[in-house]
Structure 1
Amino acid sequence: MKPQRQILQEQTSFALHNLYDRYAGMLLGYLLEIVKDRDKAEEHLVSIFETIPQHIDRITGDGVNTWCELQRLARTYLAGTMYADTTSEAKFPNTANKFSALMNDEQHAVFCSIYYYGKTTAQLAQELGKTEDLIRKALREAFAIIRKAS
């Protein structure tokens, strides 16, 4: 008879393999849209899948949308590792699309921080040393540019 711990490890391993088979391609595409570099996106995919065993119950629970949870995990991972400090001179990844080319640096930084990296206006205002109203204004302008260009 197998010990309980070994059974749990085998179940987690099977669940992780199943998640990879079903969602790795979609998650790689999602990451590629954010980082725009295939090698980096693949590295992030591996790192995210290494953290999944810690969150396996939350991701695969009953009534849970697994894809949404994986996206949330990816956003959290990216926000915590790559772009935690938006006040530095480090640039956001080259988005290479018609919308970001129309935005100024502030609008682009606000849009990426909030939309892609899940920061709140309060967090971003504190990081950038600006008021929440100015952050909201820049975000509204960014969305107006997207609407107008669509």
Structure 2
Amino acid sequence: MLKAAKQTAYENSIDIRWIYTKYGAMLLGYIQGILKHQPSAEKQLIKVLSSYISNHSNLTTEKVTWLHLRQYTQQQLLAFEFKSLDIQPQHNSNKQDDSSLSLLTETERNIFSEIYYHGKTATYLSGVLNLSENEIRSQLKSSLDKIRNAHGN
């Protein structure tokens, strides 16, 4: 006589399929919103879920919340090397902007470009560049002052 395997519903133990089913779409959207590149976001989703399961295998399904998973993902993405993806100054064809940006130091230029042209926040850049938010804001203020002074304002 054949014996059938007993199939049970998800109990309290954590399972990657349960997390993926419940939070996968939201998590992919969150990661894609940060990375702005679909294939990279999908790869990061796999890495995040795999590392989450290995690091939190003792959690139960009641303790896994969207907030907890999102915070873990944010920590993983900050550990991910953003400098090769995001923090590259954009070169504009406008000669006036190029001459203004040439007055700035490399750090000031990166901060100014990311905040002004790409809409990044000081909080985000402080995590990426390993500087305090106050340092980011003072660098931005300094770069704005240099640009204003160069244009006679």
Q: TM-score range by the shorter chain?
A: 0.5 to 0.7
The equivalent of 1:34 in structure 2 is: 34
**1:8-31 deviation line (CA, Å, top 9, x unaligned):** xx9787532111100000000001
The match for 1:124 among 131, 135, 139 is: 131
On the 8 A contact 2:122/2:136 being kept in 1, the answer is: no
Task: State the AA in 1 paired with 2:37.
Answer: D
Q: Deviations over 1:85-133 (max 9, x none)?
A: x5xx76438xxxxxxxxxx741454674754477299x414xxxxxx64
| Partners of 1:36 and 1:76 in 2: CA distance | 18
Secondary structure of 1:52's aligned partner: helix
Higher helix share: 1
1:106 paired residue among 102, 111, 115: 111
Query: Contact 2:23 / 2:66 at 8 angstroms: preserved in 1?
Result: yes
CA contact (8 A) 1:114 1:120 kept: no
TM-fit CA distance, 1:139: 7.1
- In structure 1, list runs of 5 or more residues that go unmatched: 1-9, 94-103, 126-131, 141-150
- Over 3 Å counting, the alpha-carbon distance change for 1:133 and 1:37 in structure 2 is closer
TM-score, normalised on structure 1?
0.53
CA distance, structure 1, for counterparts of residue 78 and residue 41 of structure 2: 14
Cα distance change of structure 1 residues 67 and 45 upon mapping to structure 2, 3 Å threshold = same
How far the C-alpha of 1:81 sits from its partner, in A, is 1.8
Q: Give how far 1:61 is off.
A: 5.2
Taking the aligned partners of 2:60 and 2:71, their CA distance within structure 1 comes to 10
CA RMSD of aligned residues (A): 4.0
Q: Percent identity?
A: 24
Aligned counterpart, 1:4:
none
Count residues in correspondence: 110
Aligned to 2:145: none
AA paired with 2:16? L
Matched, 1:45 2:52: no
Is the Cα contact below 8 Å between 2:87 and 2:114 reproduced in 1?
yes
- Aligned in 2, Cα 1:22/1:78: closer, same or farther, shift over 3 Å? same
Which letter does structure 2 place at the counterpart of 1:17?
A: R
1:73-94 deviations in whole A, cap 9, x for unaligned?
11111111222xx5xx76438x
CA distance in 2: counterparts of 1:135 and 1:21, whole angstroms: 39
What is residue 136 of structure 1 aligned with on the other side?
137
- Distance (Å, rounded) in 2 between the aligned partners of 1:69 and 1:108: 32
